[in-house]
Amino acid sequence: MKKSDLHQTAKWKQHLALALPKTCAEGCVWIHACSVGEVNSIAPLVYWLLEEKQPIHLTVVTKTGMQHAQRLFDKQIYISYLPWDLPGRIAKLIDHIHPQLLLLTETEFWPGMLSACKQRKIPIIGINTRISDRSFPRYEATARLWKHWLKPVQVFLAQSNIDAERLAALGIEKERIQPVGNLKYAIKPPKVDTSQIRATIDPSKQKPIILVASTHHNEEQQILNMWTTWKQIQPDLILLIVPRHPERFNDVAGDIESTGKPYCRWSELSYTDKNELHEESPHKNSLPEDIILVDAMGVLQQLYTIADIAIIGGTLAAIGGHNPLEAAICGRGIITGPHIENFREVMHNMKTEHAAIVANDATDMEQAVLRLLQHPDELRELHAHATHFISKKNDVLKKVCQVIEPWLPTASQH
């Protein structure tokens, strides 16, 4: 059986609680984060808990979330898939890992999980809590149920005032809601050799690089259409396309091929997670094409550190956008399309601080990038504003930790 098939089998066994994971000693802090974005956001908190000598068990839902958690935390914490919220399934996991505290990320509200924790007197704290524009009407329509289901949560640490208001609209008492800010502000830039990464993409280290991050269906085609215009102004331009979901890598490759534009895949280049260049790599001294499809997970944050222009995907398509702070912490202002609902308050603040450009449509985005290519001084200002914006938001982790600390298990409980 292939390794991927073995992983998928193990994944489903854990989802059904047919196989229980390895875990730490009793008295752990249980953190639940659905997928890659949530895992990224809780990383600073995980590292703080490790400094506090707290044993941690992290549960995730998706395969990509599992892989990313393993890359970030290696063997420092225990990681498993969350069982489905079916009668007895989550309770079986809880009785196995014996948590003393549950930290519930964003809107991972599972009634069975909440009820099982309440029965076992396990305190719950909602961290980085958010209710999106898209999901709020559904929550509001069933507010009476959610008010009941969310009673076991001691406090919600909301990402924004808007999220705090939406929680209150569900009937949550205001004294149980604290808008402390988005934990994603606390993410640190990756410790990488930027010179080496850039050399992998551009041995001359002089070509401008446009990074299009977390793209969805049809967005790549729109970007490729813009690419023709950009290349006329900047002939040595390099384009990095990073699809949001790995299952789309081959489809995106087909889309690029259909345009007739030459390209190569990231997996064909010589860069590795260890920041090493393979001597035998055929691309060590030259880059075959100016369009690179990044067909790998876990490298986006590193690529932000060498991008000259960063475009956030999920904003030309009606997805709602992805985390702009991952670029900002690397000192990169960003360009998006009009669909920024998932990060409405963050984007409002970034726009106010001149750290983001929100295009009305694809044509507007094309012109915005064109202007930055023609006016590098404006591009430098955009990045400088992003750096300043992030520097003013570095107290979020401290606020979260101050709330969580009294609830942490004592050393005698470990």
Q: What is the CATH number of the domain that holds 233?
A: 3.40.50.2000
Residue 161 sits in the same domain as residue 239:
no
Using 50, 70 and 90 to split pLDDT, how confident is the model at 311? Answer: very high
**pLDDT value at 25 more than 80:** no
Residue 236 sits in the same domain as residue 368:
yes
Residue 31 sits in the same domain as residue 169:
yes
Host H or E run for residue 56: strand 56-60
Pick the range with the lowest mean pLDDT from 296-305, 326-335, 351-360.
296-305
C-alpha dist (Å) from residue 131 to 105, 125, 137, 144, 282: 11, 16, 10, 16, 48
List phi, psi (to 5°) of 252. -65, -40
Q: Which residues contact 299 (CB under 8 A, 6 or more apart)?
A: 242, 266, 273
- Evaluate whether residue 189 is within a structural domain: no
Residue 242 sits in the same domain as residue 128:
no
Q: What percent of the chain has pLDDT over 70?
A: 93
* β partners of residue 179: 158
Residue corresponding to tokens 């929550």: 139
Residue 225 sits in the same domain as residue 299:
yes
* Domain boundaries, position 91: 3-181+394-413
Residue 221 sits in the same domain as residue 149:
no
Residue 263 sits in the same domain as residue 116:
no
| pLDDT tens track for 120-178 | 999 999 999 999 888 999 999 999 999 999 999 999 999 999 999 999 999 999 999 99
Residue 45 sits in the same domain as residue 167:
yes
Residue 319 sits in the same domain as residue 221:
yes
Residues 375/377/378/384 CA torsion (nearest 10 deg): 150
Residue 354 sits in the same domain as residue 237:
yes
Q: Which residues contact 305 (CB under 8 A, 6 or more apart)?
A: 189, 190, 192, 194, 197, 330
Residue 375 sits in the same domain as residue 345:
yes
Structural domains counted in the chain? 2
Residue type, position 353, single letter? E
**pLDDT value at 235 more than 80:** yes
